[in-house]
Amino acid sequence: MLNTGWGPLKLDQRSRLGLPPRARDGFELVNDQAELYLGVLPGAAHPSIWVMSKTQLLAFRKRLGALGDTEAGRLIKTATIGSFTTAAMDPQGRVTIPDELIEQAGIKDHVMLVGLEDRLEVWSKDVLDGLLKTRKEQIRQGLEALFDLEAAVIKSNALGLVLSKPGEGSRPPD
Write a three-state SS string for 8-58.
Answer: EEECCCCCEEECCHHHHCCCCEECCEEEEEEEECCCCCCCCEEEECHHHHH
Residue 138 in domain:
no
pLDDT at residue 61, as a whole number: 93
pLDDT at residue 23, as a whole number: 86
Q: What is the rounded (10 degree) CA torsion for 59, 61, 65, 70? A: 170
Q: Is the pLDDT of residue 148 over 80?
A: no
Structural domains of the chain, count: 1
pLDDT in tens, 101-118: 999 999 988 999 998 888
Residue 172 in domain:
no
Residue 101 in domain:
yes
The whole-angstrom distance between residue 71's C-alpha and the CA centroid of its chain comes to: 25
Task: Name the residue among 32, 50, 51 with its Cα closest to residue 90.
Answer: 32
Residue 105 in domain:
yes
Residue 135 in domain:
no
Residue 170 in domain:
no
CATH code of 77's domain: 3.40.1550.20
Q: Is the pLDDT of residue 15 over 80?
A: yes
